[in-house]
Chains A and B, each alone.
Chain A
Amino acid sequence: MPLGFRIRSALSAGSSEKITAYALVIPALIILAFFYFIPILATTAFSFTDYSLVNPWGWVGLENYEEVFSSEQFRVAMINTVIFTVGTVVPSIAIGLITAALLETKIRFKWLFRLALYAPALTSLVTASMVWIWAYDYQLGLVNQALTFVGISGPNWLNDPKSAMPALIIMSIWRSFGFCMLVYVAALQGVSKELYEAAELDGANWWRKFIDITIPSLRPITFFLAVTVTVSAFQAFDAIFVMTKGGPNSTTTTVVHQIYRNGFEFGRMGYASAMALVLFWLLVAISAINAIGFRRKPRR
């Protein structure tokens, strides 16, 4: 091949590389622009208006935000969201970690246990809600039948203001610890076997190894899970919409449930947008803590 030809083809390859690159990227960028990027700006703009689907609309300045921060309903929703989140995150991580560590011991039927433990995470939130509404049935449900069996008379779970939130949290733990478990199982493959062997030579039992080796080695993963599960629990909506509609007496309404109600049931899209933005910045803050925490993790 003559040298001149080779140089020319290399040059044209450079510009064809750019053209190919843009042709490959642009379809995805159009979707991201119209359904991710512009919508964030639009939500920001809406939050300063009284936009609804039907009426003419106008700017209202910070009125929506003032209403968000003074609204009793929003305050209740925020408190419920925090209770739901904390109630979900801590047990999910704890159960996920323990089951993952146990799955690493030399036991048989690992795949069966793994399938059984992960099965709830495979159900959709709607299916899970259906199953649990039925299981929480006052007279015929599985939960109260089991409680009766051991001599306890269970509450009218979803219809009692005192037990509705605990009922939702139990269901949420049931469905989310499987994810934690799978992540821990994957992470445990990377923990050095030599540490365990050394500890065994020192006569450490399973519990000591769990406390002294497993938990410290997995700290970055635990941190990652704490943030991921927190962020998703903070956005709880499906199960609440299906199981309680925020009731009884607003004891289970959450922030996203309020966004949906105001935006799509009351048509107050401006006000709902302001709530969405408040939630957005809250989640950004949680993720920022995540980023800082990750940076600080000691290199193993």
Chain B
Amino acid sequence: MTAIAQFSRGIWSGRSAAYCILSLVSLTTIAPLFFMIITALKSNAEIYSQSPSFLPLTPSLANFSEALGRSNFLLYITNSFLYAGGATICMLILASMAGYALARLRFPGRTAIFVSIIALLLVPWETHLIPNFLTIRFFPLAGGNDIFGQGGSGFVNTFPGLIIPGAVTPFGIFLMRQFFSTLPREIEEAAIIDGASHLRILIEIALPLSRPALATLGILTFVGTWNAFTWPLVVTNSASIYTIQLALQVFRESSPIQDWGILMAASTISVFPLILVFMFGQKYFIAGMAYSGLKG
């Protein structure tokens, strides 16, 4: 072994290089987020001063109370919770129902349905963006529409309009179906001999055993919906139903002077629920990543 190789081996076994590189990359990923938080803690005078200091000289939460109060971000966060929560509940119910039937029950058309769902996994969202908007806009008997979908505004600017198109996705069904397939059949067979119906087996046996899969799907759906931008942008135009993502964009575009203190405070608030979800649900997050492709 050459001297150089021996030298570099010494460094690597000491792990100092690993710490060095990881710290450097972590610093780059954290710096913009750190900048967001310290800006939120500064007053406007400090943000726009000629010689700005890196850390806030007189940190205050004024921007946060301003964002939540006068700038209405409390409403937008509530909207986001309702949207993301509603979508997550719909997804968990519909995906586990369909996933269970596809994994465990025998019925004509099962294979055809499963294959079509796999095919739909490949379809990018912008392919159905325009028709979905039209379906929501001209939904019969909704929002003042007549039976032909004319005359009113349909589900535009409503929570059903936001939630229904994503109430269940091919990915959700696929994930639940794959998980149900891994459950041991013996437990169900015992229940069938005891005369339990399939519905009861699903509710009392399969679902309690599927908590990890439900947590994974729930977290992925909640985070995805919380972060959604394009669909809310297309299907809402009234401030009373804005989600936090939409409100951030509208606030930035509409404020006459760029009010970075309030904007960064609102941005910080928008990330907070996700950091919590990740910290408490890390293992489900990773399981979801694995499911989203590797076991396909």
A and B associate: yes
Interface string of A260-278 (1 = CB under 8 A from B): 1001100001001100110
Main secondary structure of the interface of A (DSSP, over half): helix
In the bound complex, CA of A34 to CA of B286 (Å): 31
Q: Is the CB of B48 within 8 A of A130?
A: no
A127 touches which one: B22, B35, B245, B290 (CB < 8 A)? Answer: B245
A215 at the interface (CB under 8 A from B): no
Q: Is the CB of A242 within 8 A of B123?
A: no
A237 touches which one: B18, B26, B230, B264 (CB < 8 A)? Answer: B230
B57 at the interface (CB under 8 A from A): no
Q: Is the CB of B31 within 8 A of A142?
A: yes
B64 at the interface (CB under 8 A from A): no
Interface size on B, residues (CB 8 A): 98
A62 at the interface (CB under 8 A from B): no
Q: Is the CB of A32 within 8 A of B130?
A: no
Interface string of A174-189 (1 = CB under 8 A from B): 1000110011011100
A135 touches which one: B35, B116, B230 (CB < 8 A)? Answer: B35
Residue of chain B at shortest CB distance from A42: B131
Q: Which of B97-105, B141-149, B209-217 contacts A (4 or more CB under 8 A)?
A: B97-105
A39 contacts across to B, CB distance below 8 A: 127-128, 130-132, 135
In the bound complex, CA of A199 to CA of B108 (Å): 53
**How close is B291's CB to chain A, nearest CB, in angstroms?**
10
Q: Is the CB of A16 within 8 A of B198?
A: yes
B260 contacts across to A, CB distance below 8 A: 134, 140
A97 at the interface (CB under 8 A from B): no
Q: Is the CB of B107 within 8 A of A17?
A: yes
**How close is A42's CB to chain B, nearest CB, in angstroms?**
4
In the bound complex, CA of A130 to CA of B128 (Å): 28
Interface string of A190-227 (1 = CB under 8 A from B): 00000000000001011100000000000001001000
In the bound complex, CA of A178 to CA of B8 (Å): 28
Q: Is the CB of B33 within 8 A of A123?
A: yes
A147 at the interface (CB under 8 A from B): no
In the bound complex, CA of A107 to CA of B19 (Å): 7
Q: Is the CB of A276 within 8 A of B294?
A: no
Q: Is the CB of A27 within 8 A of B18?
A: no
Q: Is the CB of A131 within 8 A of B267?
A: yes
A95 contacts across to B, CB distance below 8 A: 25
B263 at the interface (CB under 8 A from A): yes
A182 contacts across to B, CB distance below 8 A: 285-286, 289
In the bound complex, CA of A146 to CA of B275 (Å): 26
Q: Is the CB of B102 within 8 A of A25?
A: yes
A272 contacts across to B, CB distance below 8 A: 130
Interface size on A, residues (CB 8 A): 94
A289 contacts across to B, CB distance below 8 A: none
Residue of chain B at shortest CB distance from A220: B294
| Number of A-B residue pairs at CB separation under 8 A | 263
Q: Is the CB of B263 within 8 A of A264?
A: no
A284 contacts across to B, CB distance below 8 A: 122
Q: Is the CB of B105 within 8 A of A187?
A: no
Residue of chain A at shortest CB distance from B273: A122
Q: Is the CB of A21 within 8 A of B101?
A: yes
Q: Is the CB of B26 within 8 A of A207?
A: no
A103 contacts across to B, CB distance below 8 A: 22
List which A109-132 residues lie within 8 A (CB) of chain B. 111, 113-120, 122-127, 130-132
Q: Is the CB of B29 within 8 A of A120?
A: yes
A142 contacts across to B, CB distance below 8 A: 31-32, 35
Q: Is the CB of A120 within 8 A of B33?
A: yes
A256 contacts across to B, CB distance below 8 A: 126
Interface string of A8-38 (1 = CB under 8 A from B): 0100010011101110110111011011111
Which among A24, A28, A231 has the highest number of chain B CB atoms within 10 Å? A28
Q: Is the CB of B8 within 8 A of A205?
A: yes
In the bound complex, CA of A117 to CA of B17 (Å): 17
**How close is B244's CB to chain A, nearest CB, in angstroms?**
8
In the bound complex, CA of A298 to CA of B105 (Å): 34
With known contacts A27-B94, A178-B29, A185-B286, A32–B229 Cβ distance under 8 A:
no
B240 at the interface (CB under 8 A from A): no
Residue of chain B at shortest CB distance from A40: B127
Q: Is the CB of A18 within 8 A of B107?
A: yes
Residue of chain B at shortest CB distance from A179: B289
A43 contacts across to B, CB distance below 8 A: 127-128, 130-131
A280 at the interface (CB under 8 A from B): yes
B108 contacts across to A, CB distance below 8 A: 18
B107 contacts across to A, CB distance below 8 A: 17-18, 21-22, 25
Q: Is the CB of A27 within 8 A of B97?
A: yes
A174 contacts across to B, CB distance below 8 A: 28-29, 32
In the bound complex, CA of A276 to CA of B233 (Å): 18
List which B130-169 residues lie within 8 A (CB) of chain A. 130-135, 164-168
- What are the 7 closest A-B residue pairs judged by CB atoms, nearest first? A124-B227, A39-B128, A39-B131, A206-B12, A28-B98, A21-B105, A116-B26
5 residue pairs from A and B, CB less than 8 Å apart:
A28-B168, A113-B26, A179-B289, A206-B18, A221-B294
Give me 8 other A-B pairs in contact (C-beta within 8 A), A32-B170, A119-B33, A280-B127 excluded. A17-B107, A21-B106, A21-B107, A105-B15, A124-B229, A130-B252, A135-B35, A280-B123
